[in-house]
Structure 1
Amino acid sequence: MIAETVCSAVSVAGLGIAAVTAYRKRFLAAARLAAYSLVPLGLVMTGAVEWVVDTAFSPTAWAGFGVLGAAWLIFMVTRAVERRTGGTRKERRAAKAAARREAVAPAASAPSLGQSTRATPAPTPAAQPKPKAAASEDFSDIEAILKKHGI
């Protein structure tokens, strides 16, 4: 009874604030406030508030929530253990047996390292690598850049 009264009072106060907001020509905000204000009144009228109050003060309901929590906890622990150990015993045995078995065609997945049958074209002069420049030439470019920046 008290919860229904409080929800009704909250709805009336919200509708009053919405009326003041509409008076200030902020109609969109006033409509939004009115919508929020009508929610507690609708919950009272549908009986949802009474159900929530009865559930909140019921020891049987709290015991039920405790049982549900324990079931959830057990479920999560078993999932974590199963992931850590790699599954059930049957699954582990099947995985070990599959690892022991040899592939049907072990050479089928191995890459061929032998000579290819197609002819390789001769490299063009542009594609041939240029001889390496001396180490001092490489550093001279770097020195020029550093001197340009005053380093």
Structure 2
Amino acid sequence: MIAETVCSAVAAAGLGIAAVTAYRKRFLMAVRLTAYSLVPLGLVMTGAVEWAAETAFSPMAWAGFGVLGGAWLLFMTSRAVERRTGGTRKERKAARAAQREAVAPAASAPSLGAAPATRQATRPAAKPRKAEQGEDFSDIEAILKKHGI
């Protein structure tokens, strides 16, 4: 009963302020104030205020709010962990595949010179490749050593 009276009084005060605002020729603001003032009156007329007042003093309702809060907390925790670990296993696998596809397999081929594919396949992996005539990699090696590579 008290909550309905307070809401009705707030609505009446808001409508009065809206009337003064309209008198000052600020019609757009007056319309907004009227809309805001009618909300509490509408809540009283639909019975939502009575329901809210009964809910506020109900232990069962507070337990329900606690359960909802716990569910929200679990949901947000699982989302944070998922973001931190990089998603599900399927998403991580897709990301790794996309990374592999993004790297060009023959990215260093121009710097090594054009070599036939059969010659590269038959060459033993243990032999280091000698630099061709006219190629000087000393500046590149210096840059790599500078960066610790």
TM-score range, shorter chain: 0.5 to 0.7
Q: Quick check: 1:109 aligned with 2:105?
A: yes
- Give per-residue Cα distances to partners, 1:47-103, cap 9 Å, x unaligned: 221222222222111111111222222233334344445567xx39x96xx99xxx9
Instruction: Give the aligned partner of residue 19 of structure 1.
Output: 19
The structure whose residues are more often helix, as a share, is 2
| TM-score for both structures, normalised by structure 1 | 0.52
For structure 1, which runs of at least 5 residues remain unmatched after alignment? 117-151
Q: Which amino acid aligns with 1:115?
A: A
Note closer, same or farther for the CA distance 1:109–1:53 as it changes in structure 2 (3 Å cut): same
**Cα distance between partner residues in 1 of 2:87 and 2:66:** 28
**Cα distance between partner residues in 2 of 1:19 and 1:71:** 45
1:14 aligned counterpart, secondary structure: helix
Q: List aligned pairs for 1:7-46, cutoff 5 A.
A: 7-46=7-46
**Cα distance between partner residues in 2 of 1:24 and 1:86:** 58
For structure 2, which runs of at least 5 residues remain unmatched after alignment? 116-149
Identity of aligned residues (%): 76
Give the RMSD, CA atoms, in angstroms. 3.4
Note closer, same or farther for the CA distance 1:39–1:72 as it changes in structure 2 (3 Å cut): closer
Instruction: Give the aligned partner of residue 62 of structure 2.
Output: 62
> Bigger radius of gyration, 1 or 2?
1
Note closer, same or farther for the CA distance 1:115–1:74 as it changes in structure 2 (3 Å cut): same
Instruction: Give how far 1:3 is off.
Output: 0.8
Note closer, same or farther for the CA distance 1:79–1:24 as it changes in structure 2 (3 Å cut): closer
Note closer, same or farther for the CA distance 1:50–1:79 as it changes in structure 2 (3 Å cut): same
Equivalenced residues, count: 104
1:109 aligned counterpart, secondary structure: coil
22-31 vs 46-55, which moves further:
22-31
19-28 vs 50-59, which moves further:
19-28
